[in-house]
Amino acid sequence: MDGRLRPGLAERLEAVVGRDHLITHERQLATYASDGLLQYAVMPGLVALPGSAEEVTAVVRACHEAEVPWVARGAGSGLSGGATPVEDGVLIGLSRLRRILEVDLDNGRVLVEPGVTNIAVSQAVAPTHFYPPDPSSQIVCTIGGNVAENSGGAHCFKYGFTTNYVTGLELVLSDGSEVTLGGPELDHPGYDLLGAFVGSEGTLGVATRIWLRVIPKPEAVRTLVAFFGSTVQAGEVVSEIVSGGIVPGAIEMMDNLSIRAAEGATGAGYPMDAGAALVVELDGSEAECETRFEQVVTICEDAGADAVRVARDEVERELIWRTRKAAFAAMGRIAPNYYVQDSVIPRTRLAEVLARIEELAAEYELHVANVFHAGDGNLHPLVCYDGKQPGEAERAEELAGLIVKTCVDAGGSITGEHGVGVDKKRYMPEMFGEPDLSAFQRLRCAFDPDQRANPGKVMPTPRLCGEVPGPYRQHPLEQAGLAERF
């Protein structure tokens, strides 16, 4: 790596983090070349593992002075390539910053360092409280990463996302300056830069201390899994539940392929020929849960569910969730490789979008499994392929792109919780026009005019700061009312 970095930077970083926490050897650097999305691999120039917020500041400042780009990384479990290193840049690993600094249950606040895992927050406030955003990777993923990606999870239809639970941040901007946004209190005067920072995928700076809101555990939880002949039928049930004024804690769907894969992994006794499995969980007050749960069971039965299984205890509930969460990992039983997608659609368009995906899959002669957060329309189509078959990976990628486009055309989004990263930036123009992207860039330039924080992510094409953006000219089709960009 000699000569690839600015002279003296390695020495300076070593002085900050110590020799043991600076990685320079090629073989060790390779560990950090990818995040959870392994198809993107880039060797960083150096990996620095600071042990305190002050060290993070010093590392960022050194990068700024050496004019070297850097990428912050939590657990590296992200699924959009958001923590993919920059070639010859510095990777700042935050795994050593894992102290829970304050637990204030009276006010429902926790102050943590960014390397604390998601599950550790809920554990720290148990048994009375919990931290609602619960990505499937919660055992390993970090709060810093969750803040960067605005992570969701199975329970976010009712409880919201990371952004709804962060009340304050201490940040290091890419010029090495420190800023505090918000605090334990809500509504600090000034722009809601906190809201703009959460979900900015590491491109606006790095958080070193994070205030989170935690809430009391609900009085009761009721969970069921119902099996249907088809995803369309199950989708109608979801609509009926939600339009009945019920807001489930979670409502998740698996299609036949996912059921088969997951059943193989956990042996939960799910029917292998079921077209769809619907997991519905209600939580809240005992009385509210009871009343609403009966309604849900009735809706499922009236819609012709083949079977409705109600979890009788925590063991059965845990099995339902384990089987749901196993679907991803178990896909290896169906196909050697797969692309995970994260598109969102308005839930009412579910039937037509699933039909279109099926059509496309047949056309491309590939299998697409579907596991999704049905309440908020967040699909996770898994495009299965065999990388050893010539051309199949390319075909799968093309199919994945068409699925994204189908979802956006239905009024949806290219990503619901995984982030844009490097993986989906090419799809950004499907959702956003040039004036929108240039507005994003204004925010970026206000925070990081030299664009050294996680460059090459989110935006579809590189662009500079300092350019005065010209006024947006309307496309003739828009002017004529023939096209709409929202």
Partner 1 sequence: MAVRGAPATREELARALKEAADAREPVRFVGGGTKRHWGTSPAEPARELPTAGLDRILEHNAGDLTAVVEAGVPLARAQAAFAEEGQMLALDPPDDGATLGGVVATSDSGPLRGRYGGVRDLVVGIRVALSDGTLAKSGGKVIKNVAGYDLSKLFAGSLGTLGAIVELSVRLHPLPPASATAIGHSADPAELGQALLALLRAPLEHSGFDVRWSAGRGALLVRFAGAAPGPQAELAERLLREAGLETEIANADEDLWAEQRGRQRADRRDDAVVRVSGLPTRLPALLGAADRLGASLVGRAGLGLSWLRLSEPSTAQIEELRRELHPSPCVVLDRPASLDVDPWGPVDPAARALMQRVKDHFDPAGACAPGVFAGGL
| Residue 377 makes contact with partner 1 by CB under 8 A | yes
Nearer to partner 1, 391 or 470 (CB): 470
| Residue 228 makes contact with partner 1 by CB under 8 A | no
Contacting partner 1 (CB under 8 A), which of 18, 51, 176, 184? 184
Contacting partner 1 (CB under 8 A), which of 183, 264, 271, 429? 183
CB of 4 to partner 1, least distance (A): 31
CB of 170 to partner 1, least distance (A): 10
DSSP 412-448: -BS-SSS--TTTSGGGHHHH--HHHHHHHHHHHHHH-
CB of 206 to partner 1, least distance (A): 14
Cα–Cα separations (whole angstroms), residue 27 to 2, 47, 93, 96, 267: 15, 12, 16, 21, 39
CB of 131 to partner 1, least distance (A): 16
Go through 67-78 and write b for each residue having 16 or more CB atoms within 10 A of its CB, e for each that does not: ebbbbbbbbbbb
CB of 179 to partner 1, least distance (A): 5
CB of 69 to partner 1, least distance (A): 19
Chain residues 432-461 in contact with partner 1, contact rule CB under 8 A: 432, 435-440, 442-447, 458
Taking residue 3's Cβ as centre, other Cβ atoms within 10 Å add up to 7
Chain residues 138-177 in contact with partner 1, contact rule CB under 8 A: 149-150, 152, 156-157, 160-161, 163-164, 173, 177
Structure tokens at 307: 């079977």
| Residue 413 makes contact with partner 1 by CB under 8 A | yes
Nearer to partner 1, 228 or 293 (CB): 293
Taking residue 176's Cβ as centre, other Cβ atoms within 10 Å add up to 16
Nearer to partner 1, 67 or 434 (CB): 434
| Residue 298 makes contact with partner 1 by CB under 8 A | no
Go through 287-314 and write b for each residue having 16 or more CB atoms within 10 A of its CB, e for each that does not: eebeebbebbbebbeebebeebbbbeee
Taking residue 85's Cβ as centre, other Cβ atoms within 10 Å add up to 26
In sequence order, the 6+-apart residues with CB closer than 8 A to the CB of 374 are: 234, 235, 238, 251, 252, 253, 278, 347, 350
Given a contact cutoff of 8 angstroms between Cβ atoms, the answer to whether 184 and 402 are in contact is: no
Contacting partner 1 (CB under 8 A), which of 123, 291, 298, 389? 291
Nearer to partner 1, 194 or 268 (CB): 194
d(CA 392, CA 366): 9
Given a contact cutoff of 8 angstroms between Cβ atoms, the answer to whether 90 and 63 are in contact is: yes
Nearer to partner 1, 122 or 256 (CB): 122
d(CA 238, CA 217): 25
Chain residues 187-206 in contact with partner 1, contact rule CB under 8 A: 187-196, 198-200
Nearer to partner 1, 50 or 205 (CB): 205
Cα–Cα separations (whole angstroms), residue 417 to 7, 307, 336, 399: 39, 31, 25, 21
**Residues forming a β-bridge with 73:** 93
| Residue 218 makes contact with partner 1 by CB under 8 A | yes
Q: Which stretch binds partner 1 (CB under 8 A): 227-235, 265-273, 363-371, 468-476?
A: 468-476
Nearer to partner 1, 40 or 440 (CB): 440
Chain residues 231-260 in contact with partner 1, contact rule CB under 8 A: 239, 242-243, 245-247
